[in-house]
Amino acid sequence: MKKSILLIAIAMFSINFSIAQEKLPINIQKSTIKWIGEYTFYFGGHDGFINFKEGYFIKRNDVITGGTFIIDMNSITNTDIKEQKGKDGLVSHLKNEDFFEVEKYPTASLKITKVEYSDKVSARLEADLTLKGITKSINFRVKFDYKEKEMKTRFKIDRKRWNVNYESKFKDGAISDAIGFEVSVKL
């Protein structure tokens, strides 16, 4: 009898838990990831975009509590170089083994592991970022706009933590170890 009551209670809790949790797919056409790579010793660098392949937020009790996002590494573009040959050269270099090895690692991922709200629309996220098959924890601040169904953030990572180890042969052209991201995720 006690086992029956316990099983019924567990089943009821499981049903309530699954109802309280909602999976919200992102709109990959309206969501953007801008990347920014800068030089170490002078102002300037390169920037462009990279696309989400898929993704979703987890929502519980009317707030975002998690999510998983897949990034299409083959979609990387450059927006600061004007001539097509230069753009193509940079994008090709970013895709090769000096940087992201896109042929071997065609996707990257980010999985939100913790959300700490400071108010109703501001939070600090902890997430696991996987690049080149290497997963490392990162954290960053976000703003949620529930009316617009959007999350925005800006953060930097140390590329060397993911074995993105390219070093310029020219001291005055050295690139920073930091890669910046400006992200807008829309539902």
In the chain, where the domains are located: 20-186
Tokens, residue 60: 């519980």
Instruction: Give the residue-averaged pLDDT of 151-158.
Output: 96
- In angstroms, the CA 124 to CA 130 distance is 19
Instruction: Evaluate if residue 14 carries a pLDDT over 70.
Output: no
The model's pLDDT over 56-95, given as tens digits with 9 standing for 90+, comes to: 999 998 889 999 999 999 999 999 999 999 999 999 999 9
Q: Which residue has the higher pLDDT, 19 or 28?
A: 28
Specify the CATH class of 20-186 in words: mainly beta
pTM of the full predicted structure?
0.83
Quick one: pLDDT at residue 12? 53
The model's pLDDT over 110-120, given as tens digits with 9 standing for 90+, comes to: 999 999 999 98
